[in-house]
Amino acid sequence: MKIVGIAACTAGIAHTYIAKEKLIKAAQQAGHEICMETQGTIGRQDELSAEKINEADVVIIAADVKVSGKERFEGKKIIEIPTEIVIRAPKKLIKRVENLIDEANQVQS
């Protein structure tokens, strides 16, 4: 599975980067490709390319604040979740995403 996403917390510092790293680690351990953008007080970092977004099966927005650029994900499956939940249980989140994608694929079959 290919995952893209955005991490953003209220201050744009600690939780943003912790959520990003935990999601990347959990996704990679489960055998998935993942690219995460961060948004915060210093702006966007690791901005997602149109190519990465197009290739993605799902978008995860781990945010406690409004993120910019959500229109880039139009037509994609989007999961929005607070950074705190991502930080506490990243593997459970990845499992949930896998189940959602599996269910969506079964419906399409």
Just list the catalytic residues. 9
- How many Å apart are CA 51 and CA 86, to the nearest integer? 25
What secondary structure letter does DSSP report for 75? T
Beta-bridge partner residues of 81: 62
The full length of the chain comes to: 109
- How many Å apart are CA 81 and CA 72, to the nearest integer? 18
- How many Å apart are CA 76 and CA 54, to the nearest integer? 9
- How many Å apart are CA 9 and CA 5, to the nearest integer? 14
